[in-house]
Structure 1
Amino acid sequence: MTQLLTVSGSPSATSRGNALARLVGAQLTGNGHYVDHLAVRDLPADALLHADFADPAIRASQDAVASAEGLVIVTPVYKASFSGALKAWLDLLPQTALDGKTVLPLATSGSLAHALALDYALRPVLQALGARHVVQSHLVTDTQIAVQADGTVRLHESAVERLDAAVEAFSTALPYVSAAA
């Protein structure tokens, strides 16, 4: 079973991005992977903003990254870039935190025009952290995803096929982990 980590970079607990991270996590769990979830907004803001590497919650998040074979990183796109909360957390990871790991970058945004933020802003940071493979990113617009009052996530049919393809490409790119390991 492959150990995976979904990371939500949204500052809101009820965001579409957080819902997307949970949806993809459930899909990966259904495919036989073990998936843990990290919401950056749950980390202490003071530790994030003051780069407190010794903070227990920051260290626990670093350990979660270290134990994962792959990461799904989901962020809202604000002002043509990924969230500042996510950037603050990524800055606290060791320089080689993503060595040997496969990463799927996902985003939510008001417009498809922001899709390039994933490739021009987030991808270089992931590669600088040593990601073995950053699969093709995927953006879901706000009109393609709805979070119901009960937490149920509904994707517009136009987003389902493309998201499924992104998750499949991620799963295929994961390093093989034998069942005996």
Structure 2
Amino acid sequence: MTKAVIIYGGNTRKSRLKGVLDKAEKFLSENQFEFETILVHELPAEDLISANFKSEPIIEANAKVAAAEVVIIVTPIYKAAYSGILKTYLDLLPQKGFEGKTVLPLVLGGSFGHLLVIDYALKPVLSALGARMILKGAFVLDTQVEYAENDQFLIHPQAEERLDHVLHLVREEESRRASSIHK
């Protein structure tokens, strides 16, 4: 069974970004991935800000990343960049923390004017962490995710289609990797 980890760079479980997270978690569940989610905003703020590499919660989160074959990054876009919350955690990963992993960025932003954030802001950091297999990510407009009731979210069909497409790329890549290992 393929192990995955989702790194959630939002600042709350109540934002529209949670709809993107829910979609990714549902996909992993339905496709028999073993996965865990790191909610960065729930890690100790002082440890993140002070770069406390000895923090037990940070060590535990890093162990989840180390054990994963797939890493899904879920982040909002603020001021044409991924969240600072996400950056504080990425700074605490080992230098080659994403080496040998399939990485998929999923971002939520206010306008398609920020569409290139994945390529020009996020991918360089992921590459610096050793990622070589960075899949084409998905950009979702925040207006394409609506809060329903009972902490559920509705995703606009166009955005749902984009997310489905890139999430299926994860499954295809992992199938390719598994078949090459067994040859």
User: Per the shorter chain, which TM-score range?
Assistant: over 0.9
Q: Which runs of 5+ in 1 are unaligned?
A: none
3-state SS, counterpart of residue 73 of structure 1: strand
Task: Tell me if the contact between 1:133 and 1:173 (Cα under 8 Å) persists in the aligned partners.
Answer: no
Identity of aligned residues (%): 39
Q: Give matches, 1:2-81, under 5 Å.
A: 2-81=2-81
What secondary structure sits across from 1:176 in the alignment? helix
- For residues 91-146 of structure 1, what are the alpha-carbon distances to aligned partners after superposition, in whole Å with 9 as ceiling and x for unaligned? 00000111100010010011111111111001000011011300001111011111
Q: Cα RMSD (Å) of the superposition?
A: 1.6
The whole-number CA distance in structure 2 between the counterparts of 1:112 and 1:77 is 11
Query: 1:176 aligns to what?
Result: 178
Residue in structure 1 matched with residue 82 of structure 2 by the alignment: 82
d(CA) in 2 for partners of 1:91 and 1:104?
18
Count of paired positions:
179
Q: Specify the SS of the correspondent of 2:151.
A: coil
* Preserved contact between residue 2 and residue 177 of structure 1 (Cα < 8 Å): no
TM-score, normalization: structure 1? 0.94
Q: 1:16, CA displacement in angstroms? A: 1.6
Asked whether the equivalents of residues 19 and 155 of structure 2 are also in contact (C-alpha less than 8 Å), the reply is no
Gaps of 5+ in 2: none
The whole-number CA distance in structure 1 between the counterparts of 2:4 and 2:140 is: 21
Q: What TM-score, normalized to structure 2?
A: 0.93
- Distance (Å, rounded) in 2 between the aligned partners of 1:92 and 1:105: 18
Distance in 1 between residues matched to 2:35 and 2:153, nearest whole Å: 18
Matching residue of 2:152: 152
Q: Equivalent residue for 2:105?
A: 105
